[in-house]
Amino acid sequence: MLMKKFLCLLLFAYILCPKNALAQADGKNGVNYAVPQTYTLAAVRVAGDDNLDRGTIINTSGLKTGQNISIPGEDITRAIQNLWRLQLYTNIRILLDSVSANKAYLTINLQSRPKLGKFTFTGVPKSQAKKLSEEVKINTRDIVTEQMLSKITRKVKEYYVAKGYPNAKINIQAKPDTAKRANQVNLVIDVEKGKRTKINDIAFEGTTAFSDKKLRKLMKKTKERQPLNVFRNSKFKTDEYETDKETVLAFYRKNGYKDVQIVQDSTYMVEENRLNINIKVAEGHKYYFRNIQWAGNTKYDSRYLNRILNIKKGDIYNPELLERNLYISQTGLDVTSLYMDDGYLFFSVTPVELLVENDSVDLEIRIFEGPQATINKVTVVGNSKTHDHVILREIRTKPGQKFSRSDIIRSQRELSQLGYFDAEKLGVTPKPNMQDGTVDIEYTVVEKPSDQIELSGGWGGGRLVGVLGLSLNNFSARNMFKPKLWQGYPSGDGQRLSLRAQTNGPQYQSYNMSFTEPWFGGKKPNSFTFSAFYSVQNDRITKNGELANRFLKTPGVSVGLGSRLKWPDDFFTSFLSLSYQYYTFENYTFVPTFSSGFTNNLNARGVLSRNATQGTNPIYPIGGSNVSFQVQATLPYSSMGLTKIGNAADLTPQEKYKWIEYHKWKFDGAYYLPLSNPKKKNVLMLAASTNFGFLGLYNRQLGLAPFERFYVGGDALSGYTLDGRELIRLRGYKGDEDVTPRYKNARTNEDVETGGAIYNRFTFELRYPLLANEGMTFYGLAFVEGGNAWLRFKDYDPFTLKRSAGLGIRAFLPMFGLIGFDVGYGFDKSLLDPTKPSGFQTHFMIGQPLSF
């Protein structure tokens, strides 16, 4: 037995010692290797290596010409070991070429490891093979070593374990590359994924504060298999499992269990592709806040800071709440914001547990206030198209002002609202100088396409309606005659130029042009807008047995002035406009007795809105609200003598409607509520909105004019707007003829669609982002919606609605704007077919809706 152990030790020593060291005994120089002798190393030659240069190899070996070496001896052995550590060779030999005058001449003979020619994956789809290539991170001409092969096996294994295939097998074959240079191999990496492992059971040990059911529910990605729920994802993925464990721990800490630990967790197979998870938890004690004291605060007293912190003695110890109220909260009511919004850029705060006694924790919150910082310079980098002054005028941080974190956040929001920059890549870099108490602020932007092409079609009036539009949202009028400054067209000054045409052929045509200068005068954010439009509907009808022309022509112009308000707060804006339309028509029936003539529509409109949405992406707000109230009205011409009153029955329609008179009131409101953590990239959102419109009259004798009505139903895309009508989208119904009320023509006994004088709509949408990258935004939605229109105010009932529900998707593409597709189910009966519910309807949308 002792002899066997001795032989094993000898064999083990032989394996550990580089076998090539025996090469020192291989020579024909008359040297007696049994008796070590000392020589002066005269020269070292290298043979057989093409990986490193000669000098590097000799230096690595440690052999130096002129040194005294012993042959045989440790110098040769050490040199071989040094080269062996490079892991570049399969065989290393140091040969004694000759000895002359006590000088030794050596040759280092190396056999290099093969290099990698190419590598391929088998047993997996091409898409996965590409991802695996990125995971293993190897390149052609790399040296093929055992470490490389181990790395490939490990990385591929980790990839499939993370995907839920813990039993994946990897086999690597090295094949000589005969087609190319010698000493080169190709690797064939064969992968056998096996069956995807699913979770059979999740069990907790040591949990008394919360039920196992509650803890399992917290694990969003790690779920037990439920045979009756085919949509439940019970796949086991290690990275998601680790994340879910942290979620469980965070939940415990949030509820006072600050010492909670997962002391042990295990996974074990119960079937070929089924595993159980066992998690052992040490909950610890439940703690409460007791005494909280402040140190280092001179600007604000402790009582005021306690109000901002909003944590009272006896509250459950919640480090997440403590961190949020100290550093950053969604409402901006935190201690750090309090200081940093007042210029204290160098401020820092650190909570320290002074005493943990029984179930109570005493805290000392240590503050370093530092000096107040004044903004020195504000610069912008990254703008290749938009001029600096367009960006700087939107930024709230101005040189000479005190530093304010909320102003920086607001500036980022304003820049994202412009639509010129990638919201995900907006950056801010404060560059403080503590010596003089100043800070330089650098804003980083990345330009994205902001111009839009509108190309859409719809079905209306029994014909195909086509729309072609071009919106240049970063136009520059002052550079129109400077073609050298163009980037495709004169751009960079933040002005908006829009051109739009709509037609179904010779029967209907509409042309619109608008121009907006957002900073009219250049000093204040007062916008100026000018627009002009012309529409015509022209066809032939049969009248008194003969063909006759029928047309409606509407030219018009509009000017408007918008302002940003500072009261009640600077989220408010106002807009005032004056518009004029002239309607001339022949054989075109607005009302049964008024088919030929003309009318004038001169009106003023005022809009007061407050947009306080949160998030950097205006297409997908993650909080806040958007509210708009507007009034549009004409003068009371009948009271001014411009319209005859007398006996209304004796007035001709031309006399009644020569000057249209009305007053129109509208309200639009939307509220955005995040249903998941708003700090994460993908936020589940609830968007709730309501819309209301009312069209009133001045004189009951004249009645309500047949213009500016509300038409509710359908996608609001395929109708005409010749008579100033507003098309209100209501999904789940084919068109406005399904919802908008009609009146009975006493003369012809026909139902005539005249539009509503009042409407209401309520919408709830559950939204989830699918992609937000490089200026593109995609999100899916589920909606419930209800709306209706009424002819008279006395008929108005906000609880009598046409209801619908459905699913949809939205895509914001830089060149085309917002595009949407919805499938909705209308639960209520259509006015055209009152025998059954409206049922399933599909809707296409392009462009941002006028009402949100």
* Separation CA 240–CA 704 (nearest Å): 63
State residue 24's pLDDT score: 42
Mean pLDDT value of segment 775-784: 90
Length of the chain: 852
Place of tokens 């073609």: 483
Q: What is the DSSP-derived secondary structure letter of residue 311?
A: -
Q: Hey, how many other C-beta atoms are within 10 angstroms of the C-beta on 594?
A: 18
Q: Token digits for 327?
A: 């550093």
Q: Token digits for 537?
A: 């509907």
Q: In degrees rounded to 5, what are phi and psi of residue 484?
A: -65, -20
6-43: per-residue pLDDT in tens? 334 433 333 334 444 434 434 456 667 777 888 899 89
- The residue among 250, 260, 258, 249 whose CA lies nearest residue 283 is 260
- Residue 293 predicted with pLDDT over 90: yes
The DSSP result for 445-483, as a single string, is --B----EEEEEEEEETTEEEEEEEEEEEEE-GGGTT-G
Mean pLDDT value of segment 337-361: 94
Q: Confidence class of residue 744 from pLDDT cuts 50, 70 and 90?
A: low
Please, which residues have CB within 8 angstroms of residue 61's CB and are 6 or more apart in sequence?
44, 79, 80, 82, 83, 108
Place of tokens 């009948």: 638
Mean pLDDT value of segment 119-127: 89
The sheet with strand 261-271 has its strands ordered as 198-205, 274-282, 261-271
- Residue 603 predicted with pLDDT over 70: yes
Q: Confidence class of residue 369 from pLDDT cuts 50, 70 and 90?
A: very high
Asked if residue 732 lies in contact with residue 827, where contact means CB atoms within 8 angstroms, the answer is yes
Q: Report which of residues 804 and 551 the model is more confident about.
A: 804
State residue 541's pLDDT score: 60
Q: Token digits for 15?
A: 């394996």
- % of the chain exceeding 70 in pLDDT: 88
3-state SS class at 408: helix
Mean pLDDT value of segment 350-367: 96
State residue 626's pLDDT score: 95
* Separation CA 550–CA 806 (nearest Å): 40
State residue 16's pLDDT score: 38
> For the chain, what is the mean pLDDT?
86
The most distant pair of C-alpha atoms in the chain lies apart, rounded to whole Å, by: 141
Cα-Cα-Cα-Cα dihedral sign, residues 787, 788, 793, 799: negative
- Residue 92 predicted with pLDDT over 60: yes
How far is CA 80 from each of CA 19, 66, 76, 473, rounded to the nearest angstrom? 10, 19, 6, 71
- Determine the number of helices (DSSP H) and then strands (DSSP E) in the chain: 14, 36
3-state SS class at 49: coil
Strand-pair category, 288-295 with 360-368: parallel
* Separation CA 372–CA 527 (nearest Å): 35
Count Cα atoms within 13 angstroms, Cβ side, for 320: 11
State residue 462's pLDDT score: 58
The sheet with strand 89-100 has its strands ordered as 68-71, 37-47, 103-112, 89-100
Predicted TM-score (pTM) of the model is: 0.65
Mean pLDDT value of segment 408-427: 90
Q: Token digits for 21?
A: 């060291």
Q: Token digits for 843?
A: 């809707």
652-695: per-residue pLDDT in tens? 778 888 899 999 999 999 999 999 887 777 889 999 999 999 99
Whether the ω angle into residue 227 lies within 30 degrees of 0, i.e. cis, is no
* Separation CA 663–CA 515 (nearest Å): 26
State residue 604's pLDDT score: 97
Asked if residue 97 lies in contact with residue 106, where contact means CB atoms within 8 angstroms, the answer is yes
* Separation CA 720–CA 737 (nearest Å): 13
811-837: per-residue pLDDT in tens? 988 767 788 999 999 999 988 888 899
Q: Confidence class of residue 457 from pLDDT cuts 50, 70 and 90?
A: low
Asked if residue 588 lies in contact with residue 657, where contact means CB atoms within 8 angstroms, the answer is no
Mean pLDDT value of segment 546-573: 89
* Separation CA 239–CA 657 (nearest Å): 71
Q: Report which of residues 771 and 496 the model is more confident about.
A: 496
Question: How large is the C-alpha radius of gyration of the chain?
Answer: 40
Q: Confidence class of residue 231 from pLDDT cuts 50, 70 and 90?
A: very low
Asked if residue 257 lies in contact with residue 283, where contact means CB atoms within 8 angstroms, the answer is yes
State residue 450's pLDDT score: 86
Q: Name the least confident of 114-128, 245-259, 388-402, 705-719.
A: 705-719
- The residue among 463, 563, 547 whose CA lies nearest residue 506 is 463
State residue 750's pLDDT score: 63
**Hey, what domains does the chain have and what are their CATH numbers?**
18-112 (3.10.20.310), 115-192 (3.10.20.310), 198-282 (3.10.20.310), 288-368 (3.10.20.310), 374-444 (3.10.20.310), 454-846 (2.40.160.50)
State residue 7's pLDDT score: 37
